[in-house]
A and B are shown apart, each in its own frame.
Chain A
Amino acid sequence: MRKSLQFLCLTALLLGAVRANAATDEAIPEGMARIPSGIYRPLFRSITDPVEVRVNEFCLDALPVTKGDFLEFVRANPRWQRSQAKRIFADENYLRDWAGDLELGPNANTNQPVVFVSWFAAKAYAQWQDKRLPTTAEWEFVAAASSTRADGENDPAFQQDILRWYSTPAAKELPVVGKSAANLWGVHDLHGLVWEWVADFNSAAVTGDVRNDTGLERQLFCGAGSVGAKDVRNFPAFMRYGFRSSLKANYCVHNLGFRCAKDL
């Protein structure tokens, strides 16, 4: 009952949002989807974090940033070219699948998602676009939607579908973006293509107290990983949290890309 009420509320909010902004649709940048405001309940939070996070209306790229997009960026910003980037901002794997500073390589497709990018590089790209990286709350809120409902996390078929990506071998060549169906908000490829950076990727794991040896929240490990988690059956969310907290901001990983957000 509560769930359906929630859903109704969300739908009402969405409809309201659509009506309210009907006149300003031109304001939505090309290639972005309008995300209505809503509530996100973090999978992991410390005692001081709120149970619910309100996500304000915002725009999110409908597709992950592609290699073609990123090529334009490094052309315009030579200091982000592979040979120029500082190791402190991008580790030695930065753009390692490219053939050179401005060459993607013979087998690359400009429509593949860009990977091997650091958080710093992703952030710089977003700024160059006059955008920003989405927060964990924003990203998770959007990614929770299946193609038909906002609360896809409560749809076992949707969850199992996401899990399938984790239990299939990595493709030799990355698929191109936009091949999967859009979700309820018109956003593609949140699952099943690449992992994505978020602005606060390390907020779930880095504790406020840095006196312990690594600064990692013990709660993410072993059985303890379920302590304080709001939904122990949400395996995909566990894996995303786990993945994000294994990262450092200069890491560049073969299946980690990003997309940008923008305030309305």
Chain B
Amino acid sequence: MNMSIVRRTSVFAAVLIAGLAIALPNSTFADEGTVLAAGPKPIDPEISGEEHAVLTQAPNVPPPITRKHATKVIVEMEVIEKTMRLADGVEYVFWTFGGQVPGEFIRIREGDQVEFHLNNHQDNKMPHNIDLHAVTGPGGGAASSFTAPGHSSVFSFKALNSGLFIYHCATAPVGMHVANGMYGLILVEPKDGLPPVDHEYYVMQGEFYTTGGYGEEGLQGFDMNKATDERPPYVVFNGSVGALVGDKALTSKVGEKVRLYIGNGGPNLTSSFHVIGEIFDTVYPEGGSQASHNIQTTVIPAGGASIVEFKTEVAGTYVLVDHALFRAFNKGALGMLRVDGPNNALVYSGKEVDAVYLGKAAGGGETERRVTALRAEVAQEIKNNPKIANLTKEIQIQKGKSVYMQTCFVCHQPAGEGVPNQIPPLAKSDFLTLNGRNDIIRGVIAGRTGPIVVNGKPYNGTMVPMSYLTDEQIANVLTYVCNSWGNSAEPFTVNEVARIRQESPAPTAASSFE
């Protein structure tokens, strides 16, 4: 067995050397930097000049290409295995192209000749390679770039097709290499370039299969069973929960054009990419050259990409989501785009009217309308008198719970625990007992902003006004919150809420989701 293997290896070596058809001295054969390709490379008449690619970390994108000819582009990329933050208090050993997830953004032009250097850091445990979907040829470069730790590979390809492509590691088991973060985007600009825009951003979705559940703290391992069952605890943009929120949000100004290069590394899930409150003026579906217009949600397959463009017309914060919504609210697939500038009331008014709506039946003739109005008056009378309505504290708590689960839980969390450093807890909250009832009601109606201290911990965020809730809804939800998770208080009444609403100045800005 042993002998036959040795023989096979030397036969391989012999054939390879023969194939080189150059008189290589034997001693250089296995040297570092051995040239394995046969003969001198054919010369591409289209190519003139040479440059090093500018690579950027998400959400940044290299500058547009201004040259009008094809060139030789040298790309140097390093594979690094490193421990990084996946969520607050949660760490993971990521396998990365360039030290971050997603990998560095590569920008070239159709017709360019790319000389790709893949360097596998010497401290890495695993061999890696790269399959660029922009490559035409078997394996997309994977076989030619297969590299042991502490080694480098070089291969070349010509960018025949323009478009936005993903690249990923394709070493077995490929799913695990991708699940650990080994993906990124390469843009091949068409020969005439892309129309100019004010901002370009790089966003990539991917899911993580941690041994622990969502938010379970500590260094998390890769869970093979969750991966094969496609049950990721995390679905995130740009490699971690919160990579695109708060001060890391994408930004634009009113009237500017934004282009997003969106990729989906997967490895398993297809993304239903949506920006809440925006319509994509133009989408290049799946990163191809055909433009579609006026798109609400665009599908991005695992191992695919999409280019979306839109003009930001109205100031506010826009939320990027995978519209498979449990991924957004429960697994981390949320990002933000903050648009600054004056409000444009022509396009979006903000809240103008807050009225009781009794359904379509309220329409019809004068008499019908009068009857409806009277009914509403009676209903209001009953509501205002808990005794008549038999609106006990228990019923208020029940009703309040449903309000909470539609409105409040996204931030304050289902059990009122809040989010560390970001959203104050409601559970066992000393803030609720230290501040008067009126102040609590006012907070819901008018919102709250600036530094506060809850249970000894400082928070400095913004709670948007919830003035669109009815007095009854506010009374109920406060009764629920102040009688749940260790809190205790008298029920809140509709009259109490109505009185505070009278006193509170109407919110000036449109509600934004922040």
Contact = CB atoms under 8 A, between A and B. Distances in A.
B221 interface: yes
Given A87-B32, A92-B32, A135-B1, A235 B16 contact: no
Nearest to A135: B1
A249 interface: yes
B122 to A, nearest CB: 6
A27 B124 CA distance: 40
Given A222-B131, A239-B126, A206 B12 contact: yes
Given A214-B143, A221-B172, A242-B172, A249 B9 contact: yes
B172 A238 contact: yes
Given A135-B1, A225-B173, A241-B172, A215 B12 contact: yes
A218 B221 contact: no
A213 to B, nearest CB: 7
Interface in B115-153: 122-127, 129, 131, 138-139, 142-144, 146-151
Interface stretch (B23-31, B330-338, B381-389, B422-430): B23-31
B143 A213 contact: yes
B225 A156 contact: yes
Interface in B404-434: none
A233 interface: yes
A254 B12 contact: no
B31 A88 contact: yes
A242 B173 CA distance: 8
Interface residues of A, number: 60
Contacts of B379: none
B22 interface: no
Contacts of A199: 1-2, 5
Majority SS of interface residues in chain B?
Answer: mixed
A167 B143 contact: no
A195 B150 CA distance: 14
Contact of A253 (B12, B148, B228): B148
B216 to A, nearest CB: 15
Contacts of A221: 129, 131, 139, 142-143, 146, 170-172, 174
Contacts of A93: 122, 150
B30 A248 contact: yes
A167 B30 contact: no
Contacts of B361: none
A11 interface: no
B16 A210 contact: yes
B131 A214 contact: no
A207 to B, nearest CB: 9
A45 B219 CA distance: 36
A163 B171 CA distance: 16
Interface string A247-264: 111111111000000000
B30 A169 contact: no
Given A202-B9, A222-B142, A254-B149, A164 B221 contact: yes
A245 interface: yes
Nearest to B18: A210
Given A206-B9, A221-B139, A242 B150 contact: no
Contact of A169 (B2, B36, B82, B170): B82
B224 interface: yes
A168 B92 CA distance: 8
A201 to B, nearest CB: 9
A164 B9 CA distance: 33
A91 interface: yes
Contacts of A235: 173, 176, 224
19 contacts: A87-B30, A88-B29, A89-B30, A91-B32, A137-B1, A160-B224, A169-B93, A170-B124, A213-B143, A214-B36, A218-B138, A222-B174, A226-B172, A229-B172, A246-B171, A250-B30, A251-B150, A252-B150, A254-B150
Given A245-B146, A246-B127, 15 more contacts: A132-B2, A135-B5, A169-B93, A210-B19, A213-B37, A221-B129, A221-B143, A235-B176, A239-B126, A239-B173, A242-B171, A243-B127, A249-B30, A254-B150, A255-B149
